[in-house]
Each structure stands twice: as C-alpha cells, then as structure tokens.
C-alpha cells in the first residue's frame, strides 16, 4: 500500500478549507495550487461522498469488497479492465470483480480513461500535474508517458480540463477507480485521461496512440463507465445486456453508433471503445463479462436504477479468441422476415405508412441485429437499404429497411403501386463487426466489408463481390469508392476496415409459408418511422 500523504493534518485541513471556499465562490479548483517547488497534485474531490474519506475506513471497505468478489478465473494476460464509477455502496461490489483479477499480477503503469460528466471540451485531456491523491496516498503521474500521449494526436492534449472541479461539481469517474487500484496493486504510476470528446474519432485516436506507446506487458488500461441511467429495473437490465453483448462480441463500431444515437446508454462509452481499440492492437481478442448488477440490486429500489458492468479484455490463444457464433435463424424465422419485408414495402408504397406487425414469438426475431433488405424487379436492383448497427429487434429492423428500400433509396425513384407484383425481396441479417487488420483474411462470398474514415463510411454486403465477380483486390478498391474515398483508401492508416458475415435469404427460398401469405403479419395501422436508414449497400 502507498503511504498516506506527508502534509500534516493541519495543512491538509487548510487545503480542504481552501477547496471548500473555492466551491462556494464558484472557482474551478481541486488541484493543489502549490508553491513553485512543490508538485501539483490533484486532491480527492469526492472522498466522503462516493467513498469513505477516512483512510482506515476506506481501506477496510475496499479490502472487504475485493475479498467478496468472485470473478471467473482468468489465466490469460489481462490487457484492460472495464469498471463502474458510482458510489461504492452502489457499484463497489461490481467494480471489485474487475480489480480482484489483479491479485498476483504486477503492473508498473495504469492508464485510467474516464468520461467528463460536468466539463465539456472537444478533446481528450491527459492530466498535466504530477500526481493524483486519495485518502490512501498519492499516486505519481507518469509524466513522460503522458507527454508522449498528448503529443501524438491533435485530439489529445496535456490539460487539467475534466480533472478539476467545475463550481460545485466535482468529477468522480476517474478518482473512484484509484483506491481499488491502490489496494490491488500497491505501487504504480498513473496516466489519468478524461475524455471531453467521446466520438469515434477521439476514441480511435486515443486507442491507437496508446497501443503505439505501450511497450511490453507492464501497462494496464482501465475504462471507467456506468451503463444505463434511471430506467425501471427490467428495462435497464434489457438495455444494459445489449451494451454488454456488443463489448463481448468486440463490436465497438456498433457500440459507439448506438451510444451516439442514444439507442443504448453508457456514460463512458468512449473510454470503453478506446480501451478496446488499444487492447486489440496489443493482442487482446476476448472480452469476458465478470459481473453485472444495477443499483436496484443494492438499494432494493427498482423504479429508477443505474447499471454497472465489470469486464476484462484478455489475450487468449487464437483458437479460443475471435468473434462469437454467426447469426442463425430457423426456416420459419426466415419465412416470417421475408413476408414481413414484402408487407412493409407494400404498406409504405400504397399507404405511405410504416407497417406495424404483431410481436413474433421467436426469440431470434426479438434480438437486436443489423439488417438489409434488397428489392429487385425482374432481376434488376430496385432498392437496398439497411441498418448497419443493431438498433432494433430484428423483425422491426427488417420492417423499417424494407419500407426505406422501397421509397427512400436515393438512387431510385420510389417504387410505384404497379411495380409491386414484379418485386422480389432478399433479407441480409448482419453479424457483429470486427476490425480487420489483415486483408488476406477476407473470404469472397463469406465476408462483407465496411470502411470508415472520419465522417466517410461505406458498406458492401458479402453477396456483392460474388454477384459482380470481384476478386479481393477489386473488392477492396470498390469499398473505398463506395464510401466516397479513393480506391486505395483501405491502405490509409487513418481508415478502418471492418468485416462481417451475413445470413442471406430470398423469397424463392421460402420453406414454411407461401409467398404472399397475409396471415403471418396481418395488416395494421402504421406510423411514420423515426430512425433514419443506413447507407445503401450496393
């Protein structure tokens, strides 16, 4: 354990008095304005609120939480952890499942990435002081590493923004992780990072640069994040499971897309994604869920809860790592989706409304999945639009994109009523996205591609290169052009390639229900759609 701070009790009391006066006066303190020969130390701002201020009481609480935690055994190298940051009575038991894994492991440096709850700024802030303090002692900042990280990208800066208090508001998301690290690791150097910007670009910049700077196994990355906020217990649990599943499937692209659209919730989504991006470049290939709970489990009040998850990003042997199982649907599931696609398109064309189907009984159709619907007329493409991210239950996603493909594909005039009898429908259900680093792994006919560079994005489904008779080189060239980028964009260090598979089925494959059967999804009054469609896939 680190020894307590050396200043006398009287001097510490004086510092706390100054900090309290600063809060009353609306000043942004929380960092010791020390004399020139004294180090600049970020003082604990939420001790006594989020966790005990008394060192002995805090040590006892943390040690008891760590002792009670029972995470699954992990023998493989741990590259990063994800832990919640609420008050210890609420989330401490979950957080302890992450930190309990550190028993018997040694890390010389810990990079803690947290969100900014109160101070908005358009960059990633790496603390520019000498240390962070808690009631358990002072943790030195790795100044050399921090300076290199801040100089590696225009989106990352040395700054006290996000680390100090804002009037009466004190940032807690990074601070509350530190006592756990102090008790689990003892001595270590800290790199404190606050993300004022949680966009894909900022998360990518931080993750990529961390991976470049980290040498060897002596550095641990910790992402600080709670999950959903203030929903009823069952609703929160369902919502949080979707977020956690995306992490387990290593699909940080969909994670960030859904967080940006507020489809899912995680206040530290940027830190989670940055940790995943860095970890995968450092060899991690598996996200292990250690514990999930919410505040309703500790308080008993299930009316408005906050979700908490603990995960470990692990480097496993290749035979055990990698993405999860591909999407699987029964023949009847496929039939229902194809009939739904046709009914939705016809309702959109004839009535200008969004079709409202009954809730299906199949659990597979209730899972959130990305999906595309392709419409052809006499063999020629007539429309194709989809959701790349799993924004809705599969049956509702297919409902939406079938209507969009019929009336909103910008490449075609809206489908007319006279054409409806000539149309054929094809559904593509997407697997999670995985970042692709070796283009030689692309298998024509099995893999689709998505490219992203800044605000430019393009997607091509797996069946496209087969239909167009492209080889891998042509496929790579075409995905760049599809995104409005040069044909060599896949070679750009600032561009990301993602691969995915798709379960593709068409109306001529109907097995359980005849084409045009209206009993599966009877006509109901529709409502305008709220979600905008994704990019065309062809």
Could you write out the DSSP letters of every residue in 18-67?
A: HHHHHHHHT----B----TTS--EE--SSBTTTB-SSHHHHHHHHHHHHH
- Report whether 497 contacts 450 (CB < 8 A): yes
460 in a structural domain = yes
- CATH number of the domain enclosing 265: 3.40.830.10
The single residue listed with the structure tokens 């609703």 is: 235
CB 310 within 8 A of CB 248: no
Same domain, 291 and 339: no
Q: Is residue 520 part of a domain?
A: no
- What's the Cα-to-Cα distance from 21 to each of 18, 134, 135, 409, rounded to whole Å? 5, 20, 20, 60
Sheet holding 448-453, edge to edge: 434-436, 496-500, 448-453, 456-460
Task: Indicate whether 160 and 62 sit together in one domain.
Answer: yes
Give me the sign of the Cα torsion angle 153, 182, 189, 70.
negative
444 and 386 in a single domain? The answer is yes
Nearest to 107 by CA among 50, 40, 158, 180: 180
Alpha-carbon distances, residue 149 vs 154, 175, 373, 496 (angstroms): 10, 20, 43, 21
Q: How far is CA 482 from CA 142, 201, 538, in A?
A: 43, 20, 8
Query: Same domain, yes or no, for 263 and 193?
Result: yes
Distance CA 172, CA 169 (A): 9
What's residue 20's pLDDT?
Answer: 39
Does 379 lie in the same domain as 264?
no
442/154 Cα distance (integer angstroms): 33
Distance CA 327, CA 277 (A): 24
Q: Do 76 and 17 reside in the same domain of the chain?
A: yes
The pLDDT score that the predictor gives to residue 218 is 96
Within this chain, do residues 382 and 274 fall inside the same structural domain, yes or no?
A: no
**Quick one: 179 and 257 in the same domain?**
yes
Cα 445 to Cα 258, 416, 460, distances in angstroms: 28, 32, 11
Asked whether residue 460 falls in the same domain as residue 340, the answer is yes
- On whether residue 154 sits in a domain, the answer given is yes
Q: Which residue, among 481, 474, 467, 468, has the nearest Cα to 442 in the 3D structure? A: 474
- Residue 348 tokens, joined: 């959109």
Q: Structurally, how many domains does the chain consist of? A: 2
**Domain at 375, CATH number:** 3.30.700.20
Q: What is the pTM of this model?
A: 0.87
Instruction: Give, in order, the Cα–Cα distances in Å from 105 to each of 94, 108, 330.
Output: 20, 10, 45
Provide the domain limits for residue 228. Answer: 9-314
Query: Quick check: is 461 in a domain?
Result: yes
Q: Are residues 159 and 292 in the same domain?
A: yes
Cβ neighbours of residue 91 under 8 Å, at least 6 residues apart?
84, 85, 226, 295, 306, 308
Phi, psi of 15 (to 5 degrees): -60, -40
Q: Is residue 230 part of a domain?
A: yes
Q: Which of 289, 314, 339 is the last residue of a domain?
A: 314
Residues of the chain with pLDDT under 50: 1-29, 34, 320-324, 512-532
Same domain as 340, residue 289: no
Tell me, yes or no, whether 112 and 253 share the same domain.
yes
Q: Does residue 526 lie in a domain region?
A: no
Domain final position from 285, 314, 343: 314
Count of residues in the chain: 538
End position of a domain, from candidates 314, 340, 371: 314
pLDDT value at residue 166 = 81
For residue 518, is it within any domain?
A: no
| Residue 146 within any structural domain of the chain | yes
Q: What is the pLDDT of residues 27-59, one digit of tens each?
A: 344 665 545 668 899 999 999 999 999 999 999
């Amino acid at each position: 354990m680190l020894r307590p701070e050396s200043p006398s009790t009287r001097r510490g009391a004086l510092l706390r008095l100054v900090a309290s006066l600063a809060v009353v006066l609306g000043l942004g303190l929380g960092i010791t304005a020390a004399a020139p020969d004294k180090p600049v130390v970020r003082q604990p701002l939420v001790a006594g609120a989020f966790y005990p201020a008394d060192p002995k009481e805090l040590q006892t609480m943390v040690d008891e939480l760590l002792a009670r935690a029972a995470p699954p055994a992990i023998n493989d190298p741990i590259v990063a952890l994800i832990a919640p940051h609420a008050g210890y009575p609420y989330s401490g038991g979950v957080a302890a499942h992450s930190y309990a894994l550190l028993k018997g492991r040694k890390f010389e440096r810990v990079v803690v990435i947290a969100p900014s709850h109160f101070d908005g700024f358009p960059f990633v802030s790496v603390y520019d002081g000498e240390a962070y303090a808690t009631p358990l002692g002072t943790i030195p900042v790795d100044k050399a590493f921090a300076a290199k990280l801040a100089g590696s990208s225009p989106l990352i800066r040395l700054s006290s923004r996000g680390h100090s208090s804002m009037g009466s508001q004190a940032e807690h998301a990074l601070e509350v992780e530190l006592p756990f690290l102090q008790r689990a690791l003892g001595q270590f150097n800290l790199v404190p990072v606050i993300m004022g910007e949680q966009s894909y670009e900022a998360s990518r910049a931080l993750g990529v640069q961390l991976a470049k700077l980290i040498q060897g196994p002596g550095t641990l990355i910790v992402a600080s994040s709670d999950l959903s906020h203030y929903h009823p217990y069952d609703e929160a649990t369902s919502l949080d499971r979707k977020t956690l599943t995306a992490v387990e499937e290593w699909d940080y692209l969909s994670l960030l897309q859904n967080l940006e659209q507020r489809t899912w919730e995680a206040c530290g989504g940027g830190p989670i994604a940055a940790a995943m991006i860095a970890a995968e470049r450092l060899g991690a290939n598996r996200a292990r869920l250690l514990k999930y709970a919410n505040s309703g489990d500790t308080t008993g009040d299930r009316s408005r809860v906050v979700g908490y998850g603990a995960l470990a990003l692990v480097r496993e042997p290749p035979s055990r790592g990698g993405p999860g199982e591909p999407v699987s649907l029964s023949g009847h599931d496929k039939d229902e989706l194809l009939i739904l696609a046709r009914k939705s398109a016809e309702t959109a064309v004839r009535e200008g409304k969004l079709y409202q189907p009954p809730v299906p009984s199949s659990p597979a159709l209730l899972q959130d999945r990305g999906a595309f619907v392709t419409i052809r007329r006499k063999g020629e493409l007539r429309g194709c639009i989809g959701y790349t991210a799993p924004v809705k239950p599969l049956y509702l996603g297919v409902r939406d994109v079938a209507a969009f493909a019929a009336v909103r594909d910008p490449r075609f005039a809206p489908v007319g009523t006279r054409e409806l009898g000539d149309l054929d429908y094809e559904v593509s259900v997407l697997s999670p996205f995985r970042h692709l680093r070796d283009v030689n792994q692309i298998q024509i006919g099995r893999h689709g591609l998505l490219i992203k560079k800044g605000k430019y994005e393009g997607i091509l489904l797996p069946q496209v290169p087969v239909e167009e008779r492209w080889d891998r080189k042509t496929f790579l060239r075409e995905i760049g052009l599809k995104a409005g980028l040069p044909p060599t964009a896949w070679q750009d260090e600032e561009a990301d390639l993602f691969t995915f598979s798709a379960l593709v089925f068409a109306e001529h494959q109907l097995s359980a229900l005849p084409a045009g059967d209206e009993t599966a999804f009877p006509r109901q009054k529709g409502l305008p759609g709220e979600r905008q469609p994704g990019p065309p896939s062809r």
